[in-house]
Every structure is written in structure tokens, then in C-alpha cells.
Structure 1
Amino acid sequence: MTVADREVITRHFVQVADRTVHYRHAGKGQPVVLIHQSPKSSAELEPFMRQLAPHFSVFAPDTPGYGLSAPLADTKATIDDFVDALIALLDALSLDAPVVFGSHSGAIFGVRLAARYPERVSGLVANGILINDQATRDELVAHYFPQFPPSRTGEHLAGVWSRIRDQHCYYPWFKQSPEYRIHWPASVEDMHESALEILMAGEHYQTGYRAVLDYDISPDVSALSVPAMLIVAKPDALVHYVPHYPPLPANVSVTITEDYPAIPQKTIAFIYERCANVSLPADPVAKHSHPERQFIRAGKIGLYCEFSGDPQATPVLVVHDLFQSVRQCRELISDLSENHFVIAPDLPGHGYTAGEPLSAAETAKTLVTLIETLKTPHIELVFVGRSGYLAGEFARYKPQGVQTDVLFVPDHAGIALGKLHFDDDTDVALAKAPDLTPESSGAHFQTAWYYLRDSYLFSPWYRREEACISQGRGELTVSELQIALLDLMAGWKSGNLLLDAVR
């Protein structure tokens, strides 16, 4: 395996007790587990993974309730509940004593993990910890994580955006006076991703925060018995806690770097110099495929796929509408799975399938590669809504030796394999989503919200005229709008690019 191969990040699901856990993996060799900060996900650690992967076998799970990992049952779970969930994941992956790296709240999880289960950790790197007295912890728990329940007016979106902006200007973010000013640099795109993580976590976004802010870390830091490095970059707001670290044992060192890029190099050096090289079980990933949710490699793309029904039944591939995802096809999937084995991928650049937008031809080729990977001699296809425009491209590249039938293409387009034609209302069929490029004001969230509402009120959505009122079509519920918003934010670039191809 080459270095380039080892730097490829794959994504997986594993069942841990009654919870589904999502994690990323890259590399080969000594196991290293990365714990992200709340309320983000392991996606933020991908650049870090690529730097460690030439040296180690790197695992980065989404902690409970974040990313694609199921939450803990208790929304007021303690730090020990999170640590026990991490131990259960290590058991599921047969990881006996990996090196653990945690960032911010992930670092605090790492400290508690190493303190409670030192025999399960061969080394600890904690990137940014905070030390607070009981009164400060009580204040943070009371004010740090307001709820943002979805509202039909979209006002919760402005609340989330303001919360993200403020945390880059003040610490703690809710104390907005000069003595609490900080400068935590972040691009508009970074703030956009942070806002999406909060919206995706929903009511569970606060759980991980509360668990770490309600925990007195000092006694555990002073008692660490494993090789440990407390590291923080000078631009990090948490560097101000270094003078407040408690007395440390000889096995714990403190490193302050000039900037963030030095942290991976310092981490690699620490692991080589101070951590025992624990062997990795053979092929720890392949034996843990989840039966209902998987990332399937289709060429260079890891397609998120859901599976439903009897694997012995006739397979059917469901291709969701543009700007949407598998999540908005669940009713259709349920109906089809009564008599079929349903495979439902998120298209490239949509839903949980990451990546840059692809052309219609490349998207069709990706679906063909997926079908070839599934190794089925016959498969039926369902194109939903505007994804029907891909059927013509699919016909050009359909897999050799595999019988494919298009079953159903609802809504805007009439499609036959090898032939594409539009209905009379081309404006409706090809109405693109608005430009949702992130703005520093957060206005792109409101634009997306009202685009979705108008899509149900008017046809086409941009013509708010009496003649264009949608007849007999109610709006989505607020919770459905929230899901549609997250899907739209993920897929608007790809969806518009695909519509451009047929305009």
C-alpha cells in the first residue's frame, strides 16, 4: 500500500449496543483515535487525519449525538457516559490501547478517558483544555448552550448564526463586553460549517458541551499516569488557561506552539518518542460493516447508501431528487422495500456524500460504478423528481452485462432510457435553487429557508403571483423544513450544476 493509498479517508458505521456510530478511518500501523470538539463532527479532523495517516492507523468517530452518530438516550448525559460510549466503541473495533488525541471538548473527553481507563490508552495528546472553578462551571452550564428549536419564521437560524459569530469574538461568548473580547480567526465558510453542525445535532448539540463544562478536570490532569502532552496554539483562546494548569506529574508535558499547523508535527513526534507501539488487529474495519447504512466506494467517491428490505429480493436503486437526500425518500423506500431490496445512495455533493459537484456524465458514471460494485445481474432504478434528468446520461454509460430497468420517474420530466424530453412547463422543471454562498451576515440561511417555503407555495418558486399559487399542496412541517434546509445547503451547488447540463 502506497502513502497516497493510506491517506484516503474511508467512512464506516458500526453498531455499538443499541447505537449506530459513524467513524472515519485512514492509514495503517499503530492505532490513533481522534476525538473532535463539540458541537462539530469528525469531518473537522480530516486535514489532521491526512497528516497522521502516512504514519498511523487513524480512527475518528463522531461522538454521540454529533455528525452521523446516534445520541445517548439522556440529553443530560455526564462526561462518564460519553467516556463509556468511547470505550464501547474501542471494544467494537478491537482497539485495546490506542493513542488518543482530543481537541477542545474532545481533549477533555480524552483526559477523563485516560484517567478512568489508563490501561486502555497508550498515550494522550490533549489539544486545548480549560480549567475552571465550580462557580465558573455553574455559570457556563447555565448560559453556554441556549436551545434553537426550529421556527416557521426561520428566526432560529439567525440565533444560531449570531451564537457562532459571538464565540469568535468573546469568551465566553455570552459575555459581550470589552474585557471578554478575543480574536479567534475563522472564515465565513468555517462559521457556516459550525452553524450546520449545531442545526444537525438539534436538541443534542448541548449534551457534549454540558458534559465537559460540568466536569472538574484538575484532579484528573494531576493524576494522569499515561504519557501525555497538553498542547495548545498561541492563537487559541484556550491558551489563556495554561497558567492555571494544576501541578503535573513527570509523564505529562506542556507544549505551546506558535500556530495551529505545528500541532500535527508535534503529535507525530510525541507518539514516536513516548507512546508504546500497540499492534492493530488484522483488518479492524472490514468486519464491522453496518447492514443498513454504509459508505460504498464508487471510483474515488464514498457514496452514503441506505439499504432496506430482503437482500434476496429484486434490487432497486432509488435516486433521490436534486437538492435533497435519501432522508426525504424514506416513505418511498419503505413502500418499495416490501417487495424489493432497496439501495438508496446520496448523490455526489448531496446529503452525506461529500465532495465537489460533478457533471451529469460523471454523476451517471458514479451510479454505474456503484451498480458494478454491488455485483447484481439485474437492477431496477427509480429516479425521483429532477434526478430523472440523469436517466438519459445513465443510459449512455449503463453497465455492460447488467439488466437495468427504469421503473418510475415522478414529477417534472418524462424520461425513457436513451431519450430525454421535457414536459410543457420547462420553467418549473428546471427552476434552479438560489445562490447560497455563505455570507458574513448569515443571510444565506434565510434565503434557503424561504426558497424552501416558496417552493411549496408557488410554482415556479420565484414567481410569487396569483397564477402561480400551488393548488392543493401544503407546506412542509417545521421539522421537515429543517431536514430540507440541511439537504439544500449540502446539495445546492451540485443540483444547480446538474440542471445547467439540461437547460
Structure 2
Amino acid sequence: MPVNSPYAELLDRMPIEQHEIVILGSTTRYWVYGPADAPLTIVIAHGYRGEHHGLEPVIAQMPGIRWIGPDMPGFGESTPLTEVPHSIDGFAKWLTAFIDVLGLNGTAVTLGHSFGTIISSKAIADGLKTPALILINPISTSGLKGPSKFATILTVAFYRLAGRLPDRVGDLLLKRWIVVQFMSSVLAKSRDRELRRWIHDQHHTYFNNFASRDSVVEAFEASVSSDVSTYSDGVTVPTLLVAAELDDITPVQAHRDLVASMTDARLELLMGVGHLIHYEEPELAAAAIHTFLVEQGLFGELPSEANSATQSGVAGNGSESGTESSQQ
């Protein structure tokens, strides 16, 4: 039985439009949230095996911004790429072309989550113009070097097995209920039973929305082939990293090292949270994003309903859901 989103009421207040466009052979579906005359547009690159719904809890906190959330090629309702491979380079070319076609190159802020942080960083390093970059749960070092060694080895073996099996068998393996539940249970750090139930429902609803076994395995290999640090020398725009203390994929020190190596970057570290910041602490993520955008002169005050929600979610430093800030 579907679980109602805690953020449904906020989302219902926002205008939402659905569109599609063909980019590099992919019929790309995308959703536009917020007013057409908003002073700022943010374009999203979602995480691996995710789609546009994943970042809606963060979007809901900031209704005064125009958000554009595409399903990346091969995921959600978008078809696979046919003119470039499902590699970091291919996805980065797609993201740049998508933003170009919408006439937003140079004006829209770029936001990546998880796998999307690698893609957006690569795109910017290769010439995508943006006034600022926001990275949520960034892959700041190789996904093969994460703090949970056993889980990493198991995950790599699983996807490579799925890639070697016959198509139908590999597809069934990837979509097994127990596989999705295990992943969701490992990544969720909240002790709130209702919140965990909703997170699991989100993953069971959307995690298997991929076009084919081949495209999802190709994208997995891309996700472990590089990381944000691979492209950070080419990222000179103001950059915000919203990272998590308990992230199973990237250790905290890797985020600090990345910020120290970048031209203009700051780190907001959320305490007591893991790789699902967008589900577990979207209010804190929105607060960090809002502060960053104001500091960059890109956005003003939040509407009152989002501001009050954000303020109620912020705890002091060192508490379970608090934040730690650092800046290069």
C-alpha cells in the first residue's frame, strides 16, 4: 500500500508541468516546478537508479524557485541514450545539451545528487556555464573507497553478475524486492519508523524504473569509474557540498579534502544523516541551499511557509540532526 509523502501538501501548492524533448537520442521527460517568472532556475541531475521524484522533498521547501527535474536517460520515463554511451562523459554531454536546448546555459544553477554530482561536475569542467553548483551527498572520492567495504564489494559483485547473466535473468535479479529493501534499509539512518516506511516505499516505487538491464549496468560502471574529485580542477564556480556524517558511500574526510582542493567551495555537513539527505533531512538541505544562494546574490528570502519549515528542522552543532560548516 503506497505511503503518503510528508511533503505532498507543500508540493500541491506549487505549479508543476511535464514536458519531453529528444537529447542525444534520448526522449527525455522533465518536470518544471514553481513559477515561470521565478528569479532563479535550478536544473537537477538525480542519483543512480533515481528519477525526478527523489528530490521533491527538497524542492517542496523552496517554492519561490523554478526547478527543472529531468529523468536522466535510461531512468524513470526517459529512454536510453543512443548517440553517446551511458558513461560519465555521455551523461555530462546529455546534461549540457539539455540545458542548452532550454536556453539556460549560463543562467541556471546546477544541482546534482549522488551519481548526479559526478555528472554535473564533469559537465561544468567540460564547459557548461552555471552561476553556481550544488552537490548533495557528493561522491567526493571513488565509490570503491567508501567506508562500508563489505557493502561496496557486494554491490560491485551484484551489478557485474547482473551484467553477465542473460538479459531477462539479469533484469529480474536487479528488480528483486529483497535487493531494493536491503539497499534502502542500509542507506536509511533515521530511527523514525514512519519516515523509514516512506523511504522504503519511495525506493520500491521508483528504484526499478529503468529502461533495460544493459543501461542500468552501464550506468553503474560509470558511477564507480570516477568521482567529483576527478573533475574538481575544472570546477571554478562557487560550489556548495551538502554532505552527511553517516554516508556509507563517501567518508567525511573525502568531502573536506575535496573542498580544500577547490577554487571556491564550502561544505555543510549534516550530522546523524546518511546518503539519503533528500529524504531524511530535506529541510536542512534546503536551509543550506538557501543560505548559499543568498550569499552568492542569486536568491532572496524564502517564502514564509518554507522558511518556518526550514527553521524548525535546524538543530545546533553536534546534535543528531545538526550541521557543521566549513569553507575553502
Please state which band the TM-score falls in when normalised by the shorter chain: 0.5 to 0.7
2:225 alignment counterpart: 214
Tell me, in whole angstroms, the C-alpha distance in 2 between the residues paired with 1:157 and 1:113.
32
Q: Root-mean-square deviation (CA), in Å?
A: 3.4
| Inter-CA distance 17–51: structure 2 relative to 1 (3 Å threshold) | same
2:178 alignment counterpart: 162
| Inter-CA distance 267–140: structure 2 relative to 1 (3 Å threshold) | farther
Q: Which of the numbers 83, 91, 99 marks the counterpart of 1:82?
A: 91
The offset of 1:254, in angstroms, is 0.9
1:265 alignment counterpart: 287
Tell me, in whole angstroms, the C-alpha distance in 2 between the residues paired with 1:5 and 1:194.
20
| Inter-CA distance 225–234: structure 2 relative to 1 (3 Å threshold) | same
SS at match of 1:69: coil
Equivalent runs, 1:59-458 vs 2, <5 Å: 59-73=68-82, 77-97=86-106, 98-117=108-127, 120-132=129-141, 143=157, 145=159, 146-147=161-162, 149-150=167-168, 156=172, 160-168=176-184, 184-185=189-190, 186-187=196-197, 188-198=200-210, 201-238=212-249, 240-243=251-254, 245-246=257-258, 247-258=260-271, 259=273, 260-261=281-282, 262-274=284-296, 276=298
Tell me, in whole angstroms, the C-alpha distance in 2 between the residues paired with 1:206 and 1:190.
21
User: Structure 2, unaligned stretches of length 5 or more?
Assistant: 1-9, 147-151, 191-195, 274-280, 300-328
1:20 alignment counterpart: 27
User: Structure 1, unaligned stretches of length 5 or more?
Assistant: 171-181, 278-503
1:297 alignment counterpart: none
Tell me, in whole angstroms, the C-alpha distance in 2 between the residues paired with 1:86 and 1:158.
26
Q: Which amino acid aligns with 1:35?
A: A
The offset of 1:165, in angstroms, is 2.7
SS at match of 2:124: helix
Q: Does 1:43 align with 2:53?
A: yes
Tell me, in whole angstroms, the C-alpha distance in 1 between the residues paired with 2:81 and 2:137.
25
Q: Which amino acid aligns with 1:67?
A: G
| Percent identity for Structure 1 against Structure 2 | 20
Tell me, in whole angstroms, the C-alpha distance in 1 between the residues paired with 2:229 and 2:171.
39
Residues 112, 120 of structure 2: 8 Å contact kept:
yes
Q: Which amino acid aligns with 2:17?
A: T
The offset of 1:60, in angstroms, is 0.6
2:15 alignment counterpart: 8
Q: Which amino acid aligns with 2:208?
A: L
Residues 131, 241 of structure 1: 8 Å contact kept:
no
Q: Tell me the number of residue pairs that the alignment of Structure 1 and Structure 2 aligns.
A: 259
Tell me, in whole angstroms, the C-alpha distance in 2 between the residues paired with 1:155 and 1:70.
16
Tell me, in whole angstroms, the C-alpha distance in 2 between the residues paired with 1:158 and 1:219.
28
Residues 232, 255 of structure 1: 8 Å contact kept:
yes
| Inter-CA distance 13–183: structure 2 relative to 1 (3 Å threshold) | closer
The offset of 1:49, in angstroms, is 2.2
Q: Which amino acid aligns with 2:99?
A: L
The offset of 1:272, in angstroms, is 2.3
| Inter-CA distance 264–142: structure 2 relative to 1 (3 Å threshold) | same
SS at match of 1:51: coil
SS at match of 2:251: helix
| Inter-CA distance 52–208: structure 2 relative to 1 (3 Å threshold) | farther
